[in-house]
C-alpha cells in the first residue's frame, strides 16, 4: 500500500473509532441526583422543607388555586425511598401544609405537590455545601399575611396591658447625684414607670443545631429549654413581659431575630447560647456585648465569627436578605447602646458567678451580628461549654437549667432597678 493511501486509511479508522466512542458515551444516561435526607421544620413563622442531596438541583414551582397547592418540579432526579419518606414527615399540626404528594412526573423529573391549609408565599432556593451538610434544596412556606408579633402574643395570653396607673420613679425635690441614686437603688429597687419588654433569643434552631456535645446534646435544644424557664420567671413579674424569637425547633436568621425584638419595642435583647471550644477542657460562663472597635480577645473574635456563620448553616435565602438593613443597623449602633449593654452584662455576669465558674471575669465584646439593634441594649450569654463533658451534663440537668434561669433573671431585674427604661408610647 502506498504511504498516502495508508495515511488515509488510518485517518478513516481514527474517525470511525471516535464516532463509536461518542455513540457509546451518548447512550450512557446521566446519573440522576440522589436525595440523601428530607427534613421538615414546621413553625408559626413559616414551614421549611429541606431536601439534602449529592448535587445541585434545579427546581421550578407554581401555585394552583381552589384548593391552594404548591407544585414543585425537580429536574435531574429519580424518585427514591428517601424522598418518599417526605410524605410521612408532614405533621397534622403543621400550620401551612395539609399533606404532600410525591411522584415521578416524567423521566428525570420528580414532582412534589403540597396541599396547603392557607394561601402562602413560597421561597424556593438552593444552598451550597457547608459544614456537615451537602447540597440543599429549600422550600420556605410563609403566610401571605404575616402575623403581627404583638397581636400573636396577645392571642396566646402572653401580652398584657400596661398598668393604667403608673408609679413614678423615686420622687426627687432636687437633683440627686448619680452615685446617690445608684446607692438608693441598691437599698430599695426603684418602681418601674411602665411595662418592661424583654426579647429572649435562643440561639440556632432547625437546620442549625449549634454546637454538639460528646454525649450528643445539641446547643439549640439546651438553650431553648433555658430560655423557656427564664421566660416563666419574667412573666411572673407584674411589670415585665417577654417575647421569644423562636419558641420551637426552627431556624430564624440573625437579622430577623433583631427585627422581632424591634417590632415589639423591646427594652432588652438577651441571646442565649452554649458553645463549644476546640479543647474539651474549656469551661465557664461568659457574657458578651457588641463592639464597634474590634473584639476584646482572640477568643471573643473567634466566637463572634462562629456565631455569625449561623446563617450559612441554618440557610438564608440571599435573594431576600436585607443587606441594607444590616448596614443601617451597624451605622446606627450608638455608644449609649453599648454602654447600657455592658451595664446589664455586668449585672448578669455577677449572678452567673454564683452558680458556675466564669470563663472571663469581665464582660467581653465582639462584633456579634445578633447584638446590632441600634436602640436596644443587647447581650449574648454563653451559659457553659457544651464541649466540656462536665458542663454538658450540667446543661442537660433540670436543676442547673433552673439555676441558670434564676441567675440571668436576677441580673436583669437588678439592671432595670438601677436603670428604669425611658417612657415610650404605651402599647397593648
* Ranges of each domain in the chain: 35-143, 149-165+175-418
- Give the pLDDT of residue 65: 94
- Give the pLDDT of residue 428: 39
What average pLDDT score do residues 75-84 get?
91
Residue 355 has pLDDT above 80, yes or no: yes
Residue 33 has pLDDT above 90, yes or no: no
Q: pLDDT tier at 187 (50, 70, 90 boundaries)?
A: very low
CA max distance for the chain? 122
Residue 186 has pLDDT above 80, yes or no: no
Residue 147 has pLDDT above 90, yes or no: no
What fold characterizes domain 35-143? Immunoglobulin-like (2.60.40)
pTM of the entire predicted model = 0.81
**CB neighbour class for 140 (10 Å; exposed up to 12, middle 13-18, buried from 19):** buried
- Residue 43 CA to residue 80 CA, distance in Å, equals 27
Residues 204, 291, 240: CA angle, nearest 5 degrees? 60
249 phi/psi in degrees, rounded to 5: -90, 80
Residue 217 has pLDDT above 60, yes or no: yes
Residue 163 has pLDDT above 70, yes or no: no
Polymer length of the chain: 428
Where is average pLDDT lowest: 45-59, 69-83, 241-255, 332-346? Answer: 332-346
> Mean pLDDT across the chain, nearest whole number?
83
- Residue 115 CA to residue 131 CA, distance in Å, equals 32
Q: How many CB atoms lie within 10 A of CB 371?
A: 29
Q: Take residue 342 and report the three cell numbers written for it.
A: 455592658
- Give the pLDDT of residue 152: 73
Q: Take residue 303 and report the three cell numbers written for it.
A: 466566637
**CB neighbour class for 181 (10 Å; exposed up to 12, middle 13-18, buried from 19):** middle
| Residues 306 and 380 sit within 8 Å (Cβ to Cβ) | no
Radius of gyration from C-alpha coordinates of the chain = 28
CATH 3.40.630.40 fits 149-165+175-418, yes or no: yes
- Give the pLDDT of residue 307: 87
What average pLDDT score do residues 385-405 get?
96
CA–CA distances in Å: residue 209 to residues 13, 101, 243 = 60, 28, 21
What average pLDDT score do residues 83-87 get?
95
Residue 427 has pLDDT above 70, yes or no: no
- Checking DSSP bridges between strand 268-273 and strand 364-366, what pairing results, if any? unpaired
What average pLDDT score do residues 137-154 get?
85
Q: How many CB atoms lie within 10 A of CB 330?
A: 14
What average pLDDT score do residues 211-240 get?
95
What residues contact 122, with CB distance under 8 A and at least 6 apart?
61, 63, 70, 139, 140, 141, 142
- Give the pLDDT of residue 12: 52
| Residues 206 and 249 sit within 8 Å (Cβ to Cβ) | yes
Q: Take residue 370 and report the three cell numbers written for it.
A: 445578633
316: left (phi over 0), alpha (psi -120 to 50) or beta: beta
Residue 36 has pLDDT above 80, yes or no: yes
What 123-130 contacts at long range (C-beta under 8 Å, 24+ apart), as own/partner pairs, is 123/317, 123/320, 124/59, 124/61, 124/72, 125/317, 125/318, 125/319, 126/56, 126/57, 126/59, 127/315, 128/56, 130/312, 130/313
- Give the pLDDT of residue 417: 93
Greater model confidence, 27 or 171: 27
The torsion defined by the Cα of 89, 94, 98 and 102, in degrees rounded to 10, comes to -30
Amino acid at each position: 500500500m502506498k504511504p498516502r493511501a495508508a495515511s488515509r486509511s488510518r485517518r478513516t479508522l481514527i474517525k470511525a473509532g471516535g464516532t463509536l466512542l461518542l455513540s457509546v458515551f451518548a447512550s450512557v444516561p446521566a446519573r440522576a441526583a440522589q436525595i440523601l435526607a428530607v427534613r421538615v421544620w414546621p413553625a408559626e413563622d413559616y414551614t421549611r422543607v429541606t431536601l439534602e442531596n449529592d448535587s445541585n438541583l434545579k427546581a421550578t414551582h407554581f401555585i394552583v388555586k381552589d384548593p391552594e397547592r404548591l407544585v414543585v418540579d425537580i429536574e435531574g432526579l429519580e424518585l427514591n425511598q428517601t424522598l418518599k419518606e417526605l410524605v410521612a414527615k408532614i405533621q397534622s399540626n403543621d400550620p401551612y401544609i395539609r399533606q404532600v404528594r410525591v411522584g415521578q412526573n416524567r423521566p428525570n423529573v420528580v414532582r412534589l405537590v403540597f396541599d396547603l391549609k392557607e394561601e402562602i408565599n413560597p421561597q424556593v432556593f438552593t444552598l451550597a455545601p457547608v459544614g456537615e451538610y451537602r447540597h440543599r434544596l429549600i422550600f420556605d412556606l410563609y403566610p401571605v399575611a404575616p402575623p403581627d408579633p404583638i397581636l400573636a402574643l396577645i392571642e396566646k395570653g402572653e401580652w398584657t396591658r400596661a398598668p393604667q396607673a403608673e408609679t413614678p420613679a423615686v420622687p426627687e425635690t432636687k437633683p440627686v447625684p448619680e452615685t446617690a441614686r445608684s446607692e438608693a437603688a441598691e437599698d430599695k429597687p426603684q418602681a418601674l414607670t411602665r411595662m418592661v419588654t424583654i426579647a429572649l433569643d435562643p440561639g440556632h434552631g432547625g437546620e442549625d443545631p449549634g454546637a454538639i456535645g460528646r454525649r450528643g446534646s445539641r446547643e439549640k435544644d439546651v438553650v431553648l429549654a433555658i430560655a423557656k424557664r427564664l421566660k416563666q420567671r419574667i412573666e411572673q413579674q407584674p411589670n415585665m413581659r417577654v417575647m421569644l424569637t423562636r419558641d420551637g425547633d426552627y431556624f430564624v436568621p440573625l437579622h430577623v431575630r433583631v427585627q422581632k425584638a424591634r417590632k415589639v419595642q423591646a427594652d432588652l435583647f438577651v441571646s442565649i447560647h452554649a458553645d463549644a471550644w476546640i479543647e474539651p477542657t474549656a469551661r465557664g460562663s461568659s457574657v458578651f456585648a457588641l463592639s464597634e472597635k474590634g473584639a476584646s480577645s482572640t477568643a471573643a473574635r473567634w466566637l463572634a465569627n462562629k456565631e455569625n456563620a449561623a446563617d450559612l448553616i441554618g440557610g438564608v435565602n440571599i435573594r431576600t436578605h436585607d443587606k441594607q438593613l444590616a448596614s443601617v443597623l451597624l451605622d446606627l449602633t450608638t455608644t449609649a447602646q453599648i454602654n447600657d449593654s455592658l451595664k446589664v452584662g455586668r449585672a448578669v455576669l455577677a449572678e452567673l458567678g454564683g452558680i458556675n465558674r466564669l470563663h472571663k471575669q469581665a464582660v467581653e465584646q465582639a462584633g456579634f451580628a445578633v447584638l446590632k439593634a441600634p436602640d436596644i441594649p443587647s447581650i449574648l450569654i454563653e451559659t457553659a461549654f457544651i464541649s466540656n463533658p462536665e458542663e454538658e451534663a450540667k446543661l442537660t440537668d433540670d436543676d442547673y437549667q433552673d439555676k441558670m434561669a434564676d441567675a440571668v433573671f436576677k441580673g436583669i431585674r437588678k439592671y432595670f432597678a438601677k436603670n428604669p427604661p425611658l417612657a415610650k408610647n404605651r402599647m397593648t
